[in-house]
Homo-oligomer: A and B are copies of this chain.
Amino acid sequence: MNQNPTLDTLLSHRSIRRFEETPIPDGDVRLAVAAGQQASTSSNVQAYSLLRIRDADRLAKLVELTGGQAKVARCGAFFVVCGDTRRHRLLAERAELPYETRLEGFLVAAIDATLFAQNLCVAFESMGYGICYIGGLRNDLAAVQKLLRFPRGVYPLFGLCVGKPAEDPALRPRLAPEAVLFEEHYPDDETLLAGVRDYDASMREYYAARGAAAASWSEKIEAQFRQAYRTSVADYYRDQGADLT
**Which residues of A does B touch, CB under 8 Å?**
1, 4-7, 9-13, 15, 25, 27-31, 33-46, 48-55, 58, 86-88, 90-92, 94-95, 97-104, 107-108, 110-111, 114-115, 117-119, 121-123, 125-127, 131-133, 135, 138, 149-151, 154, 157-158, 171-172, 174-175, 177, 180-186, 189, 192-193, 195-196, 217-218, 220-222, 224-226, 228-231, 233-234, 237, 244-245
Contact = CB atoms under 8 A, between A and B. Distances in A.
Contact of A54 (B117, B183, B189): B183
Given A90-B189, A225-B100, A181 B33 contact: yes
A50 B179 CA distance: 10
Contacts of A5: 4-6, 126
B186 A151 contact: yes
B30 A225 contact: no
Contact of A225 (B29, B44, B92, B127): B92
A242 to B, nearest CB: 10
A117 B42 CA distance: 14
